[in-house]
């Protein structure tokens, strides 16, 4: 888990700066299963698997506390876009969803994971030539044995549906299209409080 100190007021999977997003999208859920809302990233992946199903252009991995163990699987998949989903302390209301620049992840505080997400993101970006995004969900409760809180459960559903919609829009197998980086509100994420953290 990380701590963000600065936030803007907009969030979305839709964009302001064009990037090339292709069909091959990998979503990696990060977190500790037994620590309440720290499992938000894992819950997003499980729900996304239900929504997306078996699709050759999507790779969805609930990786737990050691997402670096998935690098071989990612390399075989050869993604165009990797989204790391994790709980993140952002001094925001529980259930707030933020895009966090991965370059800032290490400076955001302590982590419950074995390798800082900044280092993992840098490795994936440089070694695979893919775009890497970090999506944080503000937790409410992270004590041992706690379930997901209602606000985080709502955020999990919103994020999963938003990612599924973005995957569905990416065109036929092998196609590429221009999409935008997060800036403005997106209907796919309208149910939660959403922001871009910078």
pLDDT digits (tens, 9 = 90+) for 38-66: 999 999 999 999 999 878 889 999 999 99
Say whether pLDDT at 33 is over 50: yes
Return the axis-axis angle of helices 150-168 and 40-52, rounded to nearest 10°: 40
For 187, half-sphere exposure in the C-beta direction (CA atoms, 13 angstrom radius) is 1
Confidence (pLDDT) at 53: 83
Q: Which of 63-77, 87-101, 111-125, 148-162 has the lowest mean pLDDT?
A: 111-125
Beta bridge partners of 20: 178
Measuring CA to CA, how many Å separate 6 from each of 38, 97, 172, 185?
Answer: 21, 14, 38, 18
pTM of the predicted structure, to 2 decimals: 0.76
End-to-end CA distance of the chain: 16
Confidence (pLDDT) at 74: 96
pLDDT digits (tens, 9 = 90+) for 117-147: 889 999 999 999 999 999 999 999 999 999 9
Q: How far apart are CA 169 and CA 171, in angstroms?
A: 6
Q: What is the CATH number of the domain that holds 70?
A: 3.40.50.1450
Enter the DSSP assignment of 95: T
Number of domains into which the chain is organized: 1
Q: Containing domain of residue 179, as a range?
A: 2-196
Enter the DSSP assignment of 146: P
């Amino acid at each position: 888990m990380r701590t963000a100190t600065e936030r803007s007021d907009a969030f979305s999977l839709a964009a302001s700066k064009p990037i090339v997003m292709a069909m091959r999208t990998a979503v990696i859920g990060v977190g500790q299963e037994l620590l309440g809302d720290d499992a938000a990233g894992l819950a997003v992946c499980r729900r996304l698997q239900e929504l997306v199903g078996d699709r050759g252009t999507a790779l969805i991995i609930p990786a737990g506390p050691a997402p670096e163990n998935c690098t071989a699987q990612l390399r075989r998949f050869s993604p165009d876009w990797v989204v790391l989903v994790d709980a993140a302390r952002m001094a925001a209301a529980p259930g707030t969803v933020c895009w966090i620049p991965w370059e800032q992840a290490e400076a955001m505080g302590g982590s419950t994971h074995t390798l800082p997400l900044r280092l993992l993101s840098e490795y994936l970006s440089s070694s695979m030539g893919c775009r890497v995004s970090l999506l944080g969900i503000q937790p409410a409760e992270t004590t041992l044995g706690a379930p997901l809180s209602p606000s985080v459960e709502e955020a999990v559903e919103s994020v999963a549906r938003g990612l599924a919609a973005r995957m569905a829009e990416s065109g036929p197998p092998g196609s590429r299209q221009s999409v935008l980086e997060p800036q403005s509100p997106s209907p796919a994420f309208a149910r939660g409080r959403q922001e871009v953290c910078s």
